[in-house]
C-alpha cells in the first residue's frame, strides 16, 4: 500500500499523479501509477536536466470521460501521463521520452505531451 505523499523517485511525488477530479468521483487514486512509467519519466527528467510538470496522471473513468479521454485510456490504469517541461519545446520532451522507451503523442497547440508505456 502506498503512502499518500510518497516520493516515488528523486523528482516525482505520488501526489503529482493524482486524479484531477479533485475528489468529486474518486479518492484520487483509482489505480496506482505504473512504476516503469514513473522510472522512465525520472530518466527523461535527468537527461533533460529540467523539471517535468505532470498535468494529468491517473484518471478515474468519470474524469477521463469529462476530459475527452478514450474509453480504454492508459490514464485509467496508471500507464500514462500528460506533461510538459517548462522552457523546453514539446519536441525536445518527446525526443527524450522516445529515447527512454515511452510512447508519445505530441499536443503541440496545447503545449504538452502524452507519454505512455
pTM comes to 0.94
pLDDT in tens, 44-96: 999 999 999 999 999 999 999 999 999 999 999 999 999 999 999 999 999 99
pLDDT tens digits, 80-91: 999 999 999 999
d(Cα 38, Cα 34) in Å, to the nearest integer?
6
Mean pLDDT (the chain) is 96
What's the pLDDT at 1?
46
Contacts of 6 (CB under 8 A, 6+ apart): 13, 14
Amino acid at each position: 500500500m502506498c503512502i499518500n505523499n510518497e516520493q516515488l523517485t528523486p523528482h516525482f511525488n505520488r501526489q503529482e499523479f493524482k486524479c484531477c477530479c479533485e475528489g468529486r468521483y474518486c479518492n484520487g487514486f483509482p489505480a496506482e501509477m505504473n512504476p516503469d512509467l514513473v522510472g522512465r519519466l525520472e530518466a527523461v527528467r535527468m537527461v533533460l536536466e529540467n523539471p517535468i510538470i505532470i498535468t494529468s496522471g491517473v484518471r478515474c473513468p468519470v474524469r477521463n470521460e469529462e476530459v475527452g479521454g478514450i474509453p480504454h485510456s492508459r490514464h485509467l490504469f496508471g500507464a500514462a501521463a500528460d506533461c510538459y517541461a517548462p522552457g523546453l519545446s514539446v519536441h525536445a520532451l518527446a525526443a527524450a521520452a522516445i529515447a527512454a522507451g515511452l510512447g508519445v503523442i505530441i499536443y503541440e497547440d496545447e503545449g504538452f505531451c502524452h507519454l505512455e508505456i
